[in-house]
Structure formats: C-alpha cells, structure tokens
Amino acid sequence: TQRFIWPMAQFGQIINMYQRARASSARIFGLMDEPSRLAEDPGAEDLAVGEGDVVYDDVSFGYGEETIVEDVDFSVEGGETLALVGPTGAGKSTVLKLLLRMYDVDEGSIEIDGQNVRDVTLKSLRRSIGYVGQSSYLFYGTVRENITYGTFDATDEEVREAAEAAEAHDFIENLPDGYDTMVGERGVKLSGGQRQRVTIARAVLKDPDILILDEATSDVDTETEMLIQRSLDRLTADRTTFAIAHRLSTIKDADTILVLEGGEIAERGTHDELLSNDGLYAHLWGVQAGEIDELPQEFIDRAQE
C-alpha cells in the first residue's frame, strides 16, 4: 500500500500538535509501570478476558475542574482495531489512560468483557494490556532482558520466536553479542527502528489480550517501515487493538476510526465512511495525501479552541 509522508512544511500549527502528540506516549508508557495511586477494591478479582470486547459507556473525565473527555461512547468487538485520531489535546491519550485505570472516570463506565475496570485488580488489568509506542524505551540490560521484561518465564526459544515475529531476530544476531548485547543507556546504540522492533518483540512475548499502539516513528527508511508494519499486522491480528495515529495511512484499515476533537467524538466510522463525511478526517487525509495544500482555517481554529 502507498504510504504518505506528512507534508511538514505546509502544516504550521497543526504539525505542532502532532509533535506534541509524540511526547504524550511517553506519559502513557511511564505511567503503565508506575504503581497506581488509585485504590483497589479489597474484594477485587482478577480480570478474566475472553473475547476482549471493550465498552465505553458515556465516559466523562477531567484531571481537575475542566472536563477533558466528554460523553465518550463506543464499543470495540474482541479482535477489532479502533483508531483514535485528532488534534493535540483532543484527549486521545486520556481516553486510553482511563482504560488502564491510571485515572478513574468521573461519569460512565468502562468494561472489558462485562467487567468494570474499577472492579478488577490493577495487576491483572495491566497484565492484560500491552503497549507499543515510539517512545517505548529500552533499559540498560541485554537485548534478551529487554524482550523478556514483563514476562518472567520465557525460554530462549520463545524469545527468539518473538524476535522473529517482530522482524528483529536478524539484526539482533548481527550485534556483537547477539541476544546478550547490552543496549539502552551506556549500551550499544540501536536505531529508532531497531528499538521499536525490540519493543514489538516484547509485546509479542507478553501476548496481551488488548494492545495499545502508538504510531511508529517516521524517521525510519522505507524498508524498515515495511518490516515494522508487517510485524505490527501480525501482532494486532485477532487482538483487540487501540491505535493512536498521527499519519492516517497507518490506520486506514482500522475497523473503526474515532475522530476526537476537544474531548468529544466528532466523527466515527471506517476510512471510507469518514472520507465521504467531508469533515476533519477527510481534510487531514487530503493534506497527507497531497490532494489539498493545507487544512482549511476552520479546522485549525477549532483545534485551538
């Protein structure tokens, strides 16, 4: 499939939104490993994921007084992919932080296979949800340790299989000490595309029921991008996936695309449906496809409100 590069120069304000978007994935990942400050119900049971259906029922939330997410209502069938797009500050990351229960909703509820995320143990919730993102970090340790991070009882064979599925095995073998090569701070420097594939291997090994995908960095060559896309396709197949996307070409095949604006769902549908809607999505797509030069002022104004 044809992939499009952001026409950066034409973007002005909008590009800023997407750069800032990168920073927020770090927040998601950082928070995922933090012990939650939220109280757990003493009688909480472990989450039991079956199909992996996720339902947001009229969810509203604010970090403080201001409402950041308003009446967000959608459901994802197990195995499907839901993409979240929209300007910076629209609330994409916040919507997913609520799924991970980094914060509790103010109104409404979020259920996974009929279980309210408030009622299950945080450990089981976080164990069921994997994260792959551009800011996924490697810690100082061996490649193997970086892949097995979060999965304690993996055999070398399983690690290798995960790396193969992530299109990472070949480059790992070529590192000075293979899987025992020290990476991360003070270790061997890996490229962005290589780091990404190590974290994909980590997710393959973790085999979570639900996956959060924060779009791949765009500063990789076409071949690497193709490898990453292929491994991601494998990873997301038959797994409930939430994808935060900046380049729309990566999510055009999603089962449902939600366009968030100001914390509310402004548009929803498949790629084709949204194109015929002729709203924000259609115009963003037009810019990214090079069909129109710039986003009409009305959308920029709305994004800044």
Q: Which stretch binds ligand ATP (CB under 6 A): 84-92, 143-151, 192-200, 217-225?
A: 84-92
Q: Is 16 in the site for ligand ATP (CB under 6 A)?
A: no
Shortest spacing between CB 160 and ligand ATP, in angstroms: 35
DSSP class per residue in the chain: -------GGGTTHHHHHHHHHHHHHHHHHHHHTSPP-S---TT-B----SS--EEEEEEEE-SSSS--EEEEEEEE-TT-EEEEE-STTSSHHHHHHHHTTSS--SEEEEEETTEEGGGB-HHHHHHHEEEE-TT----SEEHHHHHHTT-TT--HHHHHHHHHHTT-HHHHHTSTTGGG-EESTTSBPPPHHHHHHHHHHHHHHH--SEEEEE---S-S-HHHHHHHHHHHHHHHTTSEEEEE-SSGGGTTT-SEEEEEETTEEEEEE-HHHHHHHTSHHHHHHHHHTTSSSS--HHHHHHHH-
Q: Is 24 in the site for ligand ATP (CB under 6 A)?
A: yes
The Cα 265–Cα 169 span in angstroms is: 40
Q: Is 134 in the site for ligand ATP (CB under 6 A)?
A: no
Shortest spacing between CB 31 and ligand ATP, in angstroms: 9
Q: Is 208 in the site for ligand ATP (CB under 6 A)?
A: no
Number of residues that bind ligand ATP (CB under 6 A): 13
Q: Is 19 in the site for ligand ATP (CB under 6 A)?
A: no
Q: Which stretch binds ligand ATP (CB under 6 A): 17-25, 172-180, 226-234, 284-292?
A: 17-25
Closer CB to ligand ATP, 214 or 225, in the complex = 214
Question: Exactly one of 47, 54, 68, 165 binds ligand ATP (CB under 6 A); which one?
Answer: 68
Question: Exactly one of 14, 21, 257, 287 binds ligand ATP (CB under 6 A); which one?
Answer: 21
| Tokens found for residue 246 | 């900046």
Interaction with ligand ATP in 87-126: which residues (CB under 6 A)?
A: 88-94
Q: Which stretch binds ligand ATP (CB under 6 A): 20-28, 104-112, 138-146, 290-298?
A: 20-28
Q: Is 63 in the site for ligand ATP (CB under 6 A)?
A: yes
Closer CB to ligand ATP, 112 or 212, in the complex = 212
> What is the binding site for ligand ATP (CB under 6 A)?
20-21, 24, 63, 68, 86, 88-94
